[in-house]
Amino acid sequence: MTDFAMMIGGERVAAGETDMVINPATGRGFATAPKGGPEHVDAAVKAARAAFPAWSTTPIAKRREKLRELAAMLEANFSELMALCTKETGKPVKGYGGVGSAMEIGGSIAWMQATAATELPVEIVQDDAEARVEVRRLPIGVVGSITPWNWPLMIGVWHYAPALLAGNTVVAKPSEFTPATTLRFIELANEILPAGVLNAVSGGGDVGAAIARHADIDKLVFTGSSPTGRAVMAAASGNLKRLTLELGGNDAGIVLPDVDVKETAPKLFGACFHNNGQTCQALKRLYVHEDIYEALGAELAAIAKSVKVGDGLDEATDLGPLQNQKQLDIVKRLADEARQAGGRFLCGGEAPEEGGGFFYPPTIVADISDGARLVDEEQFGPILPIVKYTDINDAMARANASSQGLGGSIWSADLDRASALVGRLEAGSVWVNAHAAIQPDAPMAGMKQSGLGCEFGHWGLAENTNMQTVKIVKA
């Protein structure tokens, strides 16, 4: 049993109580993490505030170098962090389509390196005999980070790297379900960064609430559900914190009748079921033209029946368990309601009765439509509704009839037609013949109730700064 610690001001810190970290493949604990409280948040904020003056005035070239050192540290500790990630999230080491814990650590390295290379130069508005007008970017101060359990390290890096490069200091709270990888990473990072620059406080909702409302935290980055995001936004209003919110999504994909079913089905399956569907930008509603509806459903079901579901530490495993019992129960309820509503289960639909762990087979439900909870709500699990459509305008209207707008996709052999259609999707990120294909130099943002602000590239880096306009009068 490994005991992890919080990191505050460069020191390992324990708490009076601990939380057990559960391996979702077995349902048993394998590590403990401190159950911090608001007093630990206060201490971490004080440490971050004390470290801010020196870090914010450190030349950006030096901060870039520190980020590159963090990327090298991730590479050097790849195996340890990958195993921790699999044990606490359940995701396979490799996974279907190569989406697993190895990809999470590798993606964290890539994002750290790409962020280190991102530029945010001074913009010149005017420079003539009368005056020079510049737009500069300054560090904000102390940034609070609250991360979810589905991609704990990679989403953490998405938060920490641009904040640090911009000259801010950070107080991080990992999910109480998956604190281990993050706490270990931040412990290792403190061997590279000055004390107080990157702090970690583990614990439950009271820690998150303390971060959201803390008067000495200047900006908050949160990734999680839309309801929690609204609560975070309300709590953060006390001192008008800057906010970046990446919230839930119920992403729709629309499949046109001209696709090659056998060629497209594996891509769709990966887009829907990678990480067991536990990704905000996973494809969660599939609208399929009536001409290929049965053929595509059958092909997806055949793939689902062929994949190996099991312990993620087995490199042959394609899909692991759900991360926690609560999420498994949500998937079970949605499946039961879909069955009662007349949904036709092409595969899956029943959790195993023996073996332990939070397992559920990849499940595909046909003959279901909008109005059913499985279609209207984000299931965040390995269960996919496929909805038949006849008219493309009707399919577009259905896809957009959601309070969320994170991602969306069009699948077609006609790229010109697909490109025209994809612009009609009310989503912050859209794809043609792909889904959730994100990259560190392209911004990710949500529409409607899927978020506020953006991440990645120079757009995301700018969100970690205050804008300052400087006018130098020459004459």
Q: The domain that contains 290 carries what CATH number?
A: 3.40.309.10
- 198: nearest Cα among 223, 166, 163: 163
- Residue 475 — very low, low, confident or very high, per pLDDT cuts 50/70/90? confident
Check whether residue 122 and residue 266 sit in a common domain: no
- Strand-pairing partners, residue 56, are none
Per-residue pLDDT of 129-139, as tens digits, reads 999 999 999 99
Cβ(370)–Cβ(350) under 8 Å? Answer: no
Asked whether residue 199 carries a pLDDT value surpassing 90, the answer given is yes
Annotated catalytic residue 85: no
Residue 283: per-residue pLDDT: 98
State what percent of residues in the chain have pLDDT above 70.
100
Check whether residue 432 and residue 454 sit in a common domain: no
Annotated catalytic residue 280: yes
Per-residue pLDDT of 353-411, as tens digits, reads 877 899 999 999 999 999 999 999 999 999 999 999 999 999 999 999 999 999 999 99
Cβ(382)–Cβ(277) under 8 Å? Answer: yes
Tokens linked to 348: 């899956």
Residue 355: per-residue pLDDT: 79
Mean pLDDT of 155-162: 98
Check whether residue 311 and residue 460 sit in a common domain: no
Asked whether residue 44 carries a pLDDT value surpassing 90, the answer given is yes
Check whether residue 131 and residue 206 sit in a common domain: yes
Per annotation, catalytic residue among 85, 280, 347, 454 = 280
Mean pLDDT, the chain, rounded, equals 97
Q: The domain that contains 56 carries what CATH number?
A: 3.40.605.10
Mean pLDDT of 23-48: 98
- Global model pTM greater than 0.85: yes
Check whether residue 359 and residue 334 sit in a common domain: yes
Mean pLDDT of 55-67: 98
How far is C-alpha 473 from the chain's CA centre?
Answer: 45
Host domain of residue 323: 252-442
- Strand-pairing partners, residue 146, are 173, 222
C-alpha–C-alpha distance, residues 122 and 115, integer Å: 18
Backbone conformation region of residue 129, classed left if phi is above 0, alpha if psi is from -120 to 50, else beta: alpha
Check whether residue 289 and residue 210 sit in a common domain: no
Residue 1: per-residue pLDDT: 86
Per-residue pLDDT of 288-334, as tens digits, reads 999 999 999 999 999 999 999 999 999 999 999 999 999 999 999 99
Cβ(202)–Cβ(36) under 8 Å? Answer: yes
131-139: strand order across its sheet? 123-127, 131-139, 465-473
Mean pLDDT of 423-438: 97
Cβ(116)–Cβ(64) under 8 Å? Answer: yes
Per-residue pLDDT of 227-279, as tens digits, reads 999 999 999 999 999 999 999 999 999 999 999 999 999 999 999 999 999 99
Check whether residue 293 and residue 408 sit in a common domain: yes
Per annotation, catalytic residue among 246, 299, 378, 455 = 246
Check whether residue 258 and residue 357 sit in a common domain: yes
**Number of domains composing the chain:** 2
C-alpha–C-alpha distance, residues 45 and 143, integer Å: 9
* The amino acid at 17: E
Check whether residue 45 and residue 65 sit in a common domain: yes
Check whether residue 463 and residue 372 sit in a common domain: no
What radius of gyration do the chain's Cα atoms show? 23
Mean pLDDT of 411-435: 97
